[in-house]
Amino acid sequence: MDRISEHSLYTISHSSNQVGGSAKSFRSKSPSSKSSNKSYKPADIDGETATALDKFRKANRLLNKELTDTKQALEKEKELTTSLKKQLESSKFNS
């Protein structure tokens, strides 16, 4: 055995110099860190099916938003109708 390699077996080298990779690769990921991938795609789904599912989910989100907006508009119209009915009733009593 070579003297240099034998020496390296018994010594602990603490090198702070980075040889390769990015600085992020040496950091441990904490549970609170977010990954850049925002959607889950199972391995058993092919690309075409995943694309179709993404389109379906997007359409579903848009429909849900439209439904929410429509419900809010309906609620405002109901309040307006109730208010106008009260005004009409009060004008009937005054005349």
Q: How far apart are CA 19 and CA 9, in angstroms?
A: 20
For the stretch 15-65, pLDDT in tens is 555 566 665 555 555 555 555 667 766 667 777 888 888 999 999 999 999
Cα three-residue angle 84-89-90, rounded to 5 degrees: 95
Report the first-to-last Cα separation within the chain, whole angstroms: 115
For the stretch 62-83, pLDDT in tens is 999 999 999 999 999 999 999 9
